[in-house]
Amino acid sequence: MVISNKPLQFIIAILIACLPVVGFANDPAEGKPVPTETTVVAQEAAPEAEGETSEIKKQIKEVIDHHVLDGHDFSISANAATGEHYGFPLPIILWDNGVHIFSSAKFHHGEAVAESNGNYYVLHHEKIYKTDAAGTLTEEHGHPTNAQPIDLSITKGVLTIMVVAMIMFLLFTSLAKSFAKNGGISAGAGRFFEPIVLYIRDEIAIPNIGEKHYKKYMSYLLTIFFFVWFLNIFGLTPLGINVTGNIAATFGLAIITFIITTLTANKNYWGHIFWMPGVPTPMKIILAPIELLGVFIKPFALMIRLYANIFAGHVVLMSLIGLIFIFKSWLGSSLSFMLSFAISIIEILVALLQAYIFTMLSALYFGSAVEEHHHEEAH
C-alpha cells in the first residue's frame, strides 16, 4: 500500500504540535534548578571573581598610565605586594622664588611630602604641586588647584634624550673619523649606518630640496632621523620609556623644523603666501590668510602625527599584554601573547617609518622654503 506524502506530512505536523499538550515537556516547577551546595558556592564566588577582574583591569590601566607618562624617577618595575620599586631616583630642579634642588627619592614614589628650604611639595600624577607639611591638595572638578612651581627636573624622558644624544655623538664621531682615516671607507658600526646616511641624502634631501641648497639642511635631517628612530626603539624596550609618545617632545621637534623653515625661507616663499602671482587680486585677499594659516598647520601636523602614532602603539601593546592577566586561560593568554608579539614586530617597523616620515616632511618644508620660482612659470 502506498501512502501519499501529503497526509503523512500532515500527521507528523499534528504530532509535533501536540507534544507539549501530551506532556512530554517538563513541568515549569521541574525546570527550576535545585539549589545544591555546589551552585550556592558558585553563586557566591561569582561576585568575588567579577570584583577580582575589575581590580585587575584597574591595575592594568594604572600600569598603562604610568608607562605613557614621563617620570621623575627611573622606575623599571615594582612589586605590588610589597610596594618595592626597582630603579633609581633622578634630580628634582624647581624654580619657586629661587632654585630648589633635591632627589626624587624624597617623594617615595608619590607617597610622601618633600621639603626644600622650608617649602613643601607633593608628586601627584607626575606633576609637582606646592603644599603644606601635611601634603594637603585642594581639588576642583577632580584636579588639584595648588600652585605649581616651574619644573626643570631631569625626568626619565630627559635622561633618555641625553643618553640618545651621547650615543649619536659617539657613533657618528667614530663614523666621521673612520671616513677620514680610511679614505672615505667606513669601518666598524659605521658600515651599517653609512647606507642610511646616503639614502637620506640621495632619496630625501636632494629630490625635495634640490642640489643647490640641500647641503645646509643635511646635518639637521640626519640628526632628526636618527634621533627619532633611536628614541622610538628605546620606547619598545622593557624600560618603560615613552619620549616620542609625549606631546611636549614632539612639539619641541616640530618647533625646530618650523624655525629653520621660517628663518631660511626666501622672498619667493613669502611672496607666494601673502601675494600669490598670477591670481586675481580679490582671490589674493581671500587666500592670503589661508596660506598663512598653513604655515602653522604644517609643524602642527608633524607634532600630532609622530605623537599619535607612537602613543597609540604603546597603549595598544600594553593593553594586549594586560589581556593575558584578564583571561587567565591557556587559550586566551596564548592569543594575547601572539597578538602582542605581532604588534611588537609591527611597532619596530613603525619606529623606523615615523622617523622617515618626519624627516621626509621636514625636507619638503625646507624645499618649499628655498624653491626658486621663475617669472615664466608664475605667468
* pLDDT value of position 3: 45
Give the C-alpha separation, 52 to 58, whole Å.
10
Give the C-alpha separation, 195 to 67, whole Å.
34
Give the C-alpha separation, 363 to 272, whole Å.
19
Kindly report, residue by residue over 165-175, the tens digit of the pLDDT.
999 999 888 88
Its sign, for the CA torsion 217, 367, 357, 67, is positive
Cβ(228)–Cβ(235) under 8 Å?
no
Instruction: Tally the C-alpha atoms within 13 A of residue 24's C-alpha that lie toward its C-beta.
Output: 6
Kindly report, residue by residue over 230-252, the tens digit of the pLDDT.
999 998 888 878 899 889 999 99
Which of 146, 159, 149, 157 minimizes the C-alpha distance to 94?
149
Residue 137, SS3? Answer: coil
DSSP for 286-318 reads HHHHHHHHHHHHHHHHHHHHHHHHHHHHHHHHH
* pLDDT value of position 241: 85
**Percent of the chain predicted with pLDDT > 70:** 82
pLDDT at 23 exceeding the cut of 50 = no
pLDDT at 48 exceeding the cut of 80 = no
**Percent of the chain predicted with pLDDT > 90:** 32
Contacts of 296-301 spanning 24+ positions with Cβ under 8 A = 296/258, 298/258, 298/261, 298/361, 298/365, 299/254, 299/255, 299/257, 299/258, 300/254, 301/361
**Phi and psi at residue 169, to the nearest 5°:** -60, -50
Give the C-alpha separation, 292 to 276, whole Å.
12
Kindly report, residue by residue over 51-70, the tens digit of the pLDDT.
667 777 777 777 777 677 78
As a whole number, mean pLDDT of residues 12-24 equals 45
Give the C-alpha separation, 135 to 132, whole Å.
5
Kindly report, residue by residue over 190-233, the tens digit of the pLDDT.
788 888 999 999 999 999 998 889 999 999 999 999 999 999 99
* Helix H or strand E segment including 118: none
As a whole number, mean pLDDT of residues 182-191 equals 75
* pLDDT value of position 52: 66
Q: Which amino acid, one-letter code, is at 209?
A: I
pLDDT at 17 exceeding the cut of 50 = no
Computed over every residue of the chain, the mean pLDDT equals 80
* Helix H or strand E segment including 113: none
* pLDDT value of position 326: 80
Cell of 35: 539549589
Kindly report, residue by residue over 267-304, the tens digit of the pLDDT.
888 877 887 777 777 877 888 888 888 889 999 999 99
pLDDT at 26 exceeding the cut of 70 = no
Its sign, for the CA torsion 365, 370, 373, 378, is positive
DSSP for 235-274 reads HTSTT---STTSHHHHHHHHHHHHHHHHHH--HHHHHHHH
* pLDDT value of position 41: 45
pLDDT at 78 exceeding the cut of 90 = no
pLDDT at 106 exceeding the cut of 80 = yes
Cα–Cα separations (whole angstroms), residue 238 to 133, 309, 317? 36, 19, 12
Which of 252, 169, 268 minimizes the C-alpha distance to 213?
268
